[in-house]
Amino acid sequence: MKEIKLSLVFRDMWQSAGKYQPRVDQLVKVAPAIIRMGCFDRVETNGGGFEQVNLLYGENPNISVREWTKPFHEAGIQTHMLDRALNALRMSPCSKDLRKLFYKVKKAQGTDITRIFCGLNDERNVIPSITYAHEAGMIAQAALCITHSPIHSVDYYVALAKKYIDAGADEICLKDMAGIGRPASLAKIVEGIKAYKKNIIIQYHSHAGPGFNMASILEVCKAGCDYVDVGMSPLSWGTGHADVIAVIEMLKDAGFKVKDVNMEAYMEVRTMIQEMCDDFLGYYIPELNHVNNSLLIKPGLPGGMMGSLMTDLEENLAQLNKWKAKNNQEPLTTDQLLVKLFDEVAYVWPKVGYPTLVTPFSQYVKNLALMNVIQMEKGKERWSMIGDNIWDMILGKSGKLAGPVAPELVELAKSQGREFLANDPQDNYPDCLDSFREKMKAQGWELGQDEEELFEYAMHPTQYEAYKSGKAKADFLEDLAKRKAEKNAPAASAMPSVITVNVNGQNYKLDIAYGDAVPAATEAAASAAPAGAGEDIIAPLSGKFYLTKEPGEQAKKVGDAVKKGETLCYIEAMKVNNAISAEFDGVITAICLSNGDSVDEDDVIFKVARS
The one-letter amino acid at 452: E
User: Judging by DSSP bridges, how do beta strands 567-573 and 576-581 pair with one another?
Assistant: antiparallel
pLDDT computed for residue 529 by the predictor:
35
Q: With DSSP H G I counted as helix, E B as strand and the rest as coil, what are the percentages for the chain, rounded to 5?
A: 45, 15, 35
**pLDDT mean by block of 10 residues, the chain; 611 residues:** 96 90 96 98 93 88 96 97 95 95 98 96 97 98 95 97 98 95 97 98 95 97 98 94 98 98 98 95 84 74 62 79 90 89 90 89 87 90 89 94 95 94 95 97 96 97 93 91 79 52 55 49 38 82 84 84 90 79 91 87 89 83
Q: Which candidate, 211, 205, 402, 214, places its Cα nearest to that of 297?
A: 211
| CATH code 3.20.20.70 for 5-290 | yes
- Beta sheet of 576-581, edge-to-edge order: 576-581, 567-573, 543-546, 598-599
Reduce the DSSP state of residue 527 to 3 states and report it.
helix
Residue 289: per-residue pLDDT: 75
Q: Where are the domains of the chain?
A: 5-290, 529-610
Residue 317 has what pLDDT? Answer: 86
Among 146, 111, 145, 143, smallest CA distance to 130 is for 143
Q: What pLDDT does 309 receive?
A: 67
Distant-in-sequence, close-in-space partners of 476: CB < 8 Å, separation ≥ 6: 56, 57, 58
Q: How many residues are given for the chain?
A: 611
Q: Residue 407 burial (CB < 10 Å; 0-12/13-18/19+)?
A: exposed
**pLDDT of res. 595:** 84
CA distance 367 to 149: 20
Q: What is the pLDDT of residues 494-543, one digit of tens each?
A: 455 555 555 555 555 555 555 444 444 343 333 333 456 889 998 888 88
Alpha-carbon gap, residue 251 to 261, rounded angstroms = 13
DSSP characters over 7-68? EE-HHHHHHHHSS----HHHHHHHHHHHHHT--EEEEEEEETTHHHHHHHTT--HHHHHHHH
pLDDT of residue 504: 58
First to last CA, the chain: 79
Return the amino acid letter for 299.
Answer: P
Give the C-alpha separation, 143 to 174, whole Å: 6
> CA torsion 452→175→21→268, rounded to 10°?
-120
Give the integer Cα–Cα distance in Å for 481 and 443. Answer: 31
Q: Report yes or no: 240 and 229 within 8 Å, Cβ to Cβ.
A: no
pTM recorded for the entire structure: 0.80
Per residue, what are the HEC states of 143-178? EEECCCCCCCCHHHHHHHHHHHHHCCCCEEEEEECC
| Distance in angstroms (rounded) separating the CA atoms of residues 377 and 43 | 44
Backbone Cα Rg of the chain: 24
Distances (CA, A) of 100 to 135, 163, 446: 9, 21, 20
Q: What is the pLDDT of residue 322?
A: 87
The interaxial angle of helices 123-135 and 96-109, nearest 10 deg, is 50
Strand spans (E) along 286-440:
none
6, 204 in Cβ contact below 8 A? no
pLDDT at site 140: 98
Domain 529-610 classification at class level? mainly beta
- Complete edge-to-edge strand list for the sheet that includes strand 561-562: 535-538, 604-610, 586-591, 561-562
Cβ-Cβ contacts under 8 Å for 90 (sequence gap 6 or more): 48, 52, 84, 459, 460
Residue 114 pairs in a beta bridge with 81, 140
